[in-house]
Structure 1
Amino acid sequence: MKELIPLRLSILGHPQRLAVFRLLMRRYPDQVPAGEISDALKVKSSTLSSYLSALLQANLVTKTREGTSLRYQVNMETTRETLDSLYLDCCRGRPDLCTSYQQPVAPKERHMTDRKYNVLFLCTGNSARSIFAEAILKSKGQDRFEVYSAGTQPQSSLNPIALEMLKAKGHDTSALRSKHMTEFIGEGAPDFDFVFTVCDQAANEECPTWEGQPISAHWGMPDPVKATGTHAEKSLAFHQAYGVLQHRLQGFAALPFDQLDRISLQNAVDEIAKTSD
């Protein structure tokens, strides 16, 4: 409601409350446990509770209970309502101020079917999940995508079980390596159309603002590298992660990119994030 706009702006004017909101925005559509937010932002649980209460009061986030855990999610409807109010009321819809916010078309305003889309997958170690995503999308869309992956804290080498599985599934692993995301920032870096985080920890971190306003989404899933037990049990965790990504990327590769505007594409990749098998 319009009368809540000043309250929302006031609440988001507090740096720590804004940090909570930004984390939840990066994790959307996840419902994030309070304890995970506290750990990621290094905030005491009692302090975080007051921040979340303020965000709930302004209806900027929603809360659900799962067992003994409270989970929080950005309220996209009221977030859009707040941004619309700024654009239409405060800025009077001036295109010179808000063109990028209102941009209605697909990434880079290009609907050409003969161009390739640049896609980046991010996780923490860049040794398994993001490598899976890179290999899968390369195999599914060689003519449509230039695919990259990187880590916020990359490992020195790829996970051996991940490599073993990719080879068994017929993927060419010769060019795969663990990379830091700084390789893709600054002069000479690809101009990305899509940036996906595939692990919660990477999404919790403050990633750079990517040039060109790529569409971004969080496709989080459990880390198979952390699986314990026998070799067979560990392999099962890797197969499950591969299967989830394969299913998601099959849906992503099938999207009619040249027919969808930016908002439709964003909604589509957010919806794909809900696919778990």
Structure 2
Amino acid sequence: MESLIASQLSTLGHPQRLALFRLLMRRYPDRVPATELAGALDLKPNTLSNYVNALMQAGLVTRERLGTSLRYAISMEAAQGMFDYLLRDCCRGRPDLCYAPSPNAIEGAHSMADPHYNVLFICTGNSARSIFAESILRDVAGDRFTAYSAGTKPRSELNPFALAVLEQKGHDVSVLRSKNVAEFQANDAPDFDFVFTVCDQAANEECPAWHGQPISAHWGLPDPVQAEGSDAERSLAFQQTYGALRNRIVAFTSLPFASLDRISLQRAVDDIGQSHAGETA
């Protein structure tokens, strides 16, 4: 066991292999195409191949072929084994010895039994998908949740097709605006209980750790803004994305929060993203 852990830690000691490991962790449980990994990390294909091969040899990453595409994912069992060994052995079974959260994180942490939760949805442009999610949660969940959305590279205006869908569904669009994720990383920002990325590009990007240690998950969906064709065809893409997000959010708000521990709740929100995958296809 010690030799395996030493090999894994040695493999992760290379900055770019560590960056690849962290990216796949953010995208878990997705299987991410090699071309997307190379693009996100600005790596040449042969360089990426060397890095993923090293992670696979250490048992930290798995690979599967879909047609002509190679896709990679974290081996969560192996990663958990590595972290468990470090916490049990190096930290003598006391994670508090090895982890000292900031005062803000302690003050901001909410119990999952609390009756009210702050939820942030993130995508790149904050013009469609995350705006949909914010609007849907606000209307579906009543007073139990406060919904926010933001973009890593927000557009100056909301997408007109997205606004049209929201108005058709009866949402109040007057309260919506495009926001930068930095707005929610300031000292006076709310502490979040949940943070969801709803596009792959946003999940691929590095973000600072959130105050309050929120539960996070990746609910990636294709970008309807990229849809081509007639106005009717483009509008249909937005309708499908809205429907997929509504299904996920209804499933999310139906979870028995008070009876789930943090690990079970994390697994549940991961499952929601996977169980509704392909809805817009």
TM-score strictly above 0.5: yes
Report the secondary structure of 1:174's partner residue. helix
Aligned ranges for residues 238-253 of structure 1 at < 5 Å? 238-253=238-253
CA distance in 2, matches of 1:256, 1:38: 39
Provide the residue aligned with 1:110 in structure 2.
Answer: 111
Amino acid of the structure 2 residue aligned with 1:170: G
Provide the residue aligned with 1:214 in structure 2.
Answer: 214
Aligned ranges for residues 63-212 of structure 1 at < 5 Å? 63-98=63-98, 108=109, 110-113=111-114, 115-212=115-212
Tell me the matched-pair count: 271
Amino acid of the structure 2 residue aligned with 1:160: P
Provide the residue aligned with 1:30 in structure 2.
Answer: 30
Cα distance, 1:2 vs structure 2: 5.1
Report the secondary structure of 1:143's partner residue. helix
Note the residue ranges of structure 1 that are not aligned, 5 or more in a row: 102-106
CA distance in 2, matches of 1:112, 1:241: 31
Report the secondary structure of 1:21's partner residue. helix
Provide the residue aligned with 2:105 in structure 1.
Answer: none
- In the superposition, the TM-score normalised over structure 1's length comes to 0.94
CA distance in 1, matches of 2:234, 2:29: 28
Note the residue ranges of structure 2 that are not aligned, 5 or more in a row: 102-107
Find out whether 1:227 has 2:233 as its counterpart.
no
Cα distance, 1:186 vs structure 2: 2.1
Cα distance, 1:259 vs structure 2: 1.1
Cα distance, 1:236 vs structure 2: 0.9
CA distance in 2, matches of 1:38, 1:48: 6
CA distance in 1, matches of 2:142, 2:57: 48
Report the secondary structure of 2:189's partner residue. coil
Residue 45 to residue 260, structure 1, CA distance change in 2 (3 Å): same
Cα distance, 1:31 vs structure 2: 0.6
Q: Deviations over 1:83-122 (max 9, x none)?
A: 0000001111124325679xxxxx9352545x31000000
Report the secondary structure of 1:43's partner residue. coil
Given that 2:128 and 2:162 are in contact with CA atoms closer than 8 Å, whether structure 1 keeps it comes out as: yes
- In the superposition, the TM-score normalised over structure 2's length comes to 0.93
